[in-house]
Amino acid sequence: MNTTFKHVTHIALVAALSMAAASSFAQAEQGKHGGMRKLDANKDKLISREEAKASPMLSKNFDAIDTNKDGQLSRDELKAHHQATKADQDGDGNISRAEAAKKPHLAKNFDKIDTNRDGILTPAERKAWMGKRKQG
């Protein structure tokens, strides 16, 4: 194999690997924020009820996610909902103290959120807490 061919082949391989890495990075970034960007048709960085219709999960849970009741889903509201649903390991809709222990922010604020002191964070308690955070 001649030296020029080896050099060209090496350059082509490096270029191909660089493009693959760049593509993977772009896909990872799209996965992080792409869902909201895709749904945000008017690019105001909020998801309206109308825009949410494109996502069955958002449409179904819109009122629970929209904690400040402004008719829009902000990135913070979506993030809070995502974190809360990830914390609910048994899928019962509630977050126990043990489940919250895996989420430092929830664990730290558990007693503030658990207004009836039953050791369970209900969706209503989480929603009320998020509303207080938005006001204050």
Query: What's the pLDDT tens digit per position in 93-136?
Result: 889 999 999 888 888 999 999 999 999 999 889 888 877 776 66
pTM of the model: 0.48
Say what the pLDDT of residue 25 is. 32
Please say if the pLDDT value at position 78 is more than 60: yes
Q: What is the pLDDT of residues 26-35, one digit of tens each?
A: 333 233 445 7
By mean pLDDT, which of 6-10, 73-77, 78-82, 85-89 is the weakest?
6-10
User: What are the extents of the domains in the chain?
Assistant: 1-35, 40-135
Mean pLDDT of the region 72-98: 85
Residue 12 above 50 pLDDT?
Answer: no
β-strands 72-73, 95-96 pairing: unpaired
Mean pLDDT of the chain: 75
Tell me if the domain spanning 40-135 has CATH number 1.10.238: yes
pLDDT for 60 equals: 87
7: exposed, middle or buried (Cβ count in 10 Å: 0-12, 13-18, 19+) = exposed
- Give the Cα separation of 106 and 77 in Å (integer): 15
